[in-house]
Amino acid sequence: MSGKEQSDEKLRIILRDMRYLTILKHLKLANVDYGKSIMLNTKIPLDEIIKILDELENLGLIERVHGATLKNTEAKFKLSSEVHKHHTYYRLTREGDHLLRYLDDKMLIHTYIEIIRNDNLALNILKLADELNADHALTYAKLTHKRLEEVTPKIEELVRMGLLEEKNSNSSFLKMTSI
C-alpha cells in the first residue's frame, strides 16, 4: 500500500467516528495533553478517550510524551511554568499534524463520499434527513422500508460520523449536520 493509500485509509478510519477528529484537533490546540484533561475539554467519556488514544497511537497519528516534567510552553493548557508528570501525556506525531494541516472541506466531503458511496441505507437516511429536516428513527425505518432494528444502528453510525445529529436531546429526532 502506498503512502497516499495509507493516509486515505487512516482518514477514513478517523471520519467514521468524529470523536477521533475531535481528540486530534484538541491535541493540535493543546500541543501536549493527557486523557482526563482531554475529557474535560471535549466532553467525551474518559474510557472512550483512552480507547481512542490507543487506536490513534496504533495508527501513528499520536505519540506518548516521555520525560519526568513538562514545561507550559509545551503543554499549552497548563497554568504553572513546569509540571511533574503524573499522567500519560500525548501529542500529535508529524503524520498526525500533517493530516490535520491539510484536511480541508473538499477532502472531508470526498472522504465521506468514499465511506458511504455504496451504502444505500446510509444514503437514503441522509437524503430523507435533508428533506425532512428532523424526524424520528421510526419514520426513517418506515420510509426506507426497513426494520427499526436495521435503521437504528445505521443512524447511530451516521451520528458518530457527524453526518446526523440529535435535534433535541429529550427525543430521538435527528437532523442533517452541515459538514
Sign of CA dihedral 47, 53, 58, 64: negative
Pairing verdict, β 173-176 and 135-136: antiparallel
Report the percentage of the chain scoring pLDDT > 90.
60
- 169 by Cβ neighbours in 10 Å (0-12 / 13-18 / 19+) ranks as exposed
Annotated domain spans of the chain: 3-104, 118-176
**Is it true that 3-104 and 118-176 share their CATH fold?**
yes
Tens-place pLDDT, residues 109-164: 899 999 999 999 999 999 999 888 878 899 999 999 999 999 999 999 999 999 99
CATH no. for 3-104: 1.10.10.10
* pTM, full prediction: 0.79
Instruction: Write the pLDDT tens digit of every residue in 144-155.
Output: 999 999 999 999
Give the other-Cβ count within 10 Å of 1's Cβ.
Answer: 8
Fold of 118-176: Arc Repressor Mutant, subunit A (1.10.10)
- Phi then psi for residue 50, to 5 deg, are -60, -45
